Structure 1
Amino acid sequence: MIKVSVTSTEVRTQSGNAKATGKPYSLAFQTVWMHTHDRTGKPNPYPEKVEIILEKNEQGAALFYPAGDYTLAPESLYVNRNGDLSLSPRLVPLKPAAAPATARAA
């Protein structure tokens, strides 16, 4: 499991015209922090800053993630048209840890 921390709801947008088609485009990005591991599986000491592309609603507004802890959704991984494994991050919230039980006085 890869833990992803969202600390800000700030969204960065980028727009322009595609070189290949000349059609206009607009992308929305959000910065997240991924808690990654090295090639041996050892957790890295610090999370790494990553920008993810956000989905948009029917009106074209970016659907940003609220601050909190997440993990990658299974649909984040897919096989692209070249047959290679690709990643398009989609996040699902981590469930908060259950509070420790309190001892009752008898």
Structure 2
Amino acid sequence: MIKVSVMSTDVRNQSGTSKAGKPYSMTFQTVWLHTVDQHGKPNPFPEKVEIILPKNAEGAALFYPVGDYTLAPESLYVDRGGDLKLSPRLVALKPRPQAAA
């Protein structure tokens, strides 16, 4: 499991016109990935990554609230060429229960 931390709901929008002449708009959110090295040992610090946010039916970006997440199974897919690709979609991790005082 790859843990993903969202520390802020700030987003960045990038829009313009593609080479084909079609308008585009993408919204990004910064997240922090808790990765491991090639031997499976956790890295000492999370890594900063920008992900493209999904959109709702009206085209508005759906940002992730502050919290801890993992990658959803639908984040991984095989493209037309048979290559494994990643399009990050996050699933909230359940908070740990607080010990009774």
- Please classify the TM superposition score into its range, dividing by the shorter chain length: over 0.9
Question: What is the CA RMSD across the aligned residues, in angstroms?
Answer: 1.1
Q: 2:28 matched to which residue of 1?
A: 29
Counterpart of 1:66 in structure 2: which amino acid?
A: P
Which letter maps to 1:96?
P
Structure 1 residues not aligned, in runs of 5+: none
Aligned-residue identity in percent? 74
Runs of 4 or more, structure 1, over 3 Å off, are none
Letter in 1 for 2:24: Y
| Greater gyration radius | 1
Q: What's the TM-score once normalised by structure 1's chain length?
A: 0.90
Residue aligning to 1:69: 68
Residue 16 of structure 2 corresponds to residue 16 of structure 1:
yes
> What's the CA shift for 1:101?
5.6
Amino acid in the other structure paired with 2:70: T
2:50 & 2:5 partners in 1: Cα distance? 12
Residues 5-35 of structure 1 show CA distances to partners (whole Å, capped at 9, x for unaligned) of 000001100011111x110000000000000
Q: What is the correspondence of 1:70-85 to structure 2 with a 5 Å cutoff?
A: 70-85=69-84
Distance between the aligned counterparts of 2:59 and 2:23, measured in 1?
Answer: 13
Gaps of 5+ in 2: none
* TM-score, length-scaled by structure 2: 0.95
- Aligned to 1:50, the other structure's residue is in SS state strand
Aligned equivalents of 1:46, 1:74: Cα separation in 2 = 24
- Counterpart of 2:63, as a letter, is F
